[in-house]
Amino acid sequence: MKFDWPALLKAGVRGLSLRPDQFWQLTPAEFRLMLGIDAGSAPMGRSALDALSQAYPDEKRTSTDG
């Protein structure tokens, strides 16, 4: 797979006003997000959040926990 690096750099520097060092430090996922390109996954819904909360509950603090 070939990348059009000049076009990607132009999108980052001119389009997103990034400095070149900022552009090169981004991951592809971060860059796609900044460009508004769908990463292919929907935001977490309420049922998924509830399942996650049940699987990894917050620890309850007692009155002596500060």
Q: What is the pLDDT of residues 9-63, one digit of tens each?
A: 999 999 999 999 999 999 988 998 899 887 666 777 899 889 988 988 887 766 6
Whether the Cβ atoms of residue 8 and residue 24 lie closer than 8 Å to each other:
no
pTM beyond 0.75: no
**Can you give the pLDDT at residue 12?**
94
CA 12 to chain centre: 16
For residue 14, give the DSSP letter.
I
pLDDT at position 52, please?
Answer: 86
Residues 6 or more apart whose Cβ sits within 8 Å of residue 20: 9, 13
d(CA 6, CA 21): 15
Q: What is the dihedral of CA 32, 27, 21, 3, to 10 degrees?
A: -70
